[in-house]
């Protein structure tokens, strides 16, 4: 099964949307394999957003991500990266489709509730950045027979 990372940003934490957002992924059928609250610091954000370091809004993004603790989660399921990104919606909350997390809860490009890994390769790198190996769990997920046909897993 594929694993991916999500970060519930300070905009989700401060607006008390943690449970509601996690519940959407659980109801979809994704398995939570790791979850923790953490206060992000410059060092990890410089690494996480290195691809944006040359842009004028780089410091603003980092400041936003350090405004309060965040929730980081490892989610697992068939095509988890694609499914999670689809559920998150496009980056700009004003453009995100209703029914997506950003479409339902965000009016901003920056304060857009959630970060979701954009590829399987990126997810692997990001999961290692935010989780120690022992913080991601493999356990029997009993609903599997009710989520997928036998030939899908």
Catalytic site residues?
Answer: 115
Please give the full DSSP string across 16-85, using - where no structure is assigned: T-HHHHHHHHHHHTPEEEEEEEE---HHHHHHHTGGGTTSTTHHHHHHHHTSS-EEEEEEEETTHHHHHH
Tokens of 71: 């929730």
Task: Name 79's Cβ contacts closer than 8 Å, sequence gap at least 6.
Answer: 2
d(CA 17, CA 10) in angstroms, rounded, equals 10
Picking from 88, 130, 106, 139, the residue whose alpha carbon sits closest to that of residue 14 is 106
d(CA 114, CA 6) in angstroms, rounded, equals 7
């Amino acid at each position: 099964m594929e694993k991916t990372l999500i970060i519930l940003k300070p905009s989700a934490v401060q607006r008390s949307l943690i449970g509601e957002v996690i519940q959407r992924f659980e109801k979809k059928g994704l398995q939570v394999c790791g979850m923790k609250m953490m206060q992000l610091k410059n060092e990890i954000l410089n690494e996480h957003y290195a691809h944006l370091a040359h842009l004028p809004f780089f410091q603003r993004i980092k400041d936003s991500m350090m405004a309060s603790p965040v929730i980081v989660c490892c989610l697992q399921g068939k095509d988890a990266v694609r499914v999670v990104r689809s559920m998150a919606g496009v980056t700009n909350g004003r453009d995100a489709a209703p029914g997506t997390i950003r479409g339902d809860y965000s009016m901003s490009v920056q304060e857009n509730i959630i970060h979701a890994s954009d590829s399987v390769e990126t997810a692997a790198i990001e999961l290692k950045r935010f989780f120690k190996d022992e913080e991601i769990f493999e356990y029997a997920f009993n609903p599997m027979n009710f989520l997928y046909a036998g030939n899908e897993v």
